[in-house]
Amino acid sequence: MVDPGGIVGALGETFGAQAALAARLWRDKQLEFTFRRALMRCYVDFDRCTAQALSHVSGELGVELSEERTRALLEAYLRLPAYPDAEPALRRLKSAGCRIVALTNGTEKSVRTLLKHAGIDGFFETILSADSIRTFKPDPAVYDLVRRAGASGEKAWLVSGNPFDVIGAKAHGLKAAWVRRDPRRIFDPWEFAPDVVIGNLEELHRGMLPQQ
């Protein structure tokens, strides 16, 4: 729903021509740190993982960040834009009577800030945060949180652009749609596959909503 690539502009002032690379490394390290912490049972929240990942990127690219600049970039990460297709897709699902919740690694406070800035917070019934159980996706316990929203596995869909997230949901018995925005990307060759592959969020109705 929200584009992590939107951070490139904020990184430009500090990383210059390496801004796009910095954004990609930041995201990769952010996820890597959550995987490692979940496996190690050595939890810190997603905001802390994000800050540690930024510190790693600055060191790897040889760019020193002041405390002020670090704080500004972390705040910018909570102002990422929604993908252009997010609002119309959410509106269509809501009109069709679907219940929409956010199942996230982020803290509830940060995700509320992120969704509000992106202008799509009003579509979400609630936020189910992995922070409440001190672990991260793809830990099965995170996907079990959907029961808090009163949805059974066979009726609940996870929608994600991350193959690891889709695989985690499928392994837990949920249905899943993979948002394949880049046609060059391939899905991880595991025993789990998405129920639906879509190129953008406006195709979410395909296989999920009753045909009119």
Shared-domain flag, residues 70 and 106: no
Shared-domain flag, residues 31 and 65: yes
Distance (Å) of CA 70 to CA 6, 34, 67, 98, 212 = 17, 20, 5, 39, 50
Which residue is it, tokens 């979400």? 124
Shared-domain flag, residues 146 and 104: yes
Q: How far apart are CA 30 and CA 54, in angstroms?
A: 8
Identify which of 180, 178, 1 has the alpha carbon closest to the alpha carbon of residue 91. 1
CATH code, domain carrying 43: 1.10.150.240
**Domain hosting residue 12, numbered range:** 4-79
Amino acid symbol at 37:
R
Shared-domain flag, residues 65 and 113: no
Whether residue 138 is preceded by a cis peptide bond, meaning omega within 30 degrees of 0, is yes
3-state secondary structure of 132: helix
Measured distance between the N- and C-terminal CA atoms of the chain, rounded to whole angstroms: 25
CA angle 81, 164, 52 (to 5 degrees): 60
Per-residue pLDDT of the chain (212 residues; tens, 9 = 90+): 999 999 999 999 999 999 999 999 999 999 999 999 999 999 999 999 999 999 999 999 999 999 999 999 999 999 999 999 999 999 999 999 999 999 999 999 999 999 999 999 999 999 999 999 999 999 999 999 998 778 766 789 999 999 999 999 999 999 999 999 999 999 999 999 999 999 999 898 766 654 44
> Is residue 52 within 8 Å of residue 36, measured between CB atoms?
no
Q: How far apart are CA 56 and CA 7, in angstroms?
A: 16
Shared-domain flag, residues 194 and 112: yes
Q: How far apart are CA 204 and CA 201, in angstroms?
A: 5
Q: How far apart are CA 103 and CA 42, in angstroms?
A: 21
Q: Is residue 212 part of a domain?
A: no
104 CA to centre of own chain: 7
Shared-domain flag, residues 10 and 71: yes
pLDDT digits (tens, 9 = 90+) for 53-88: 999 999 999 999 999 999 999 999 999 999 999 999
The torsion of the CA quartet 168, 174, 177, 180, rounded to 10 degrees, works out to: 10
Shared-domain flag, residues 165 and 72: no
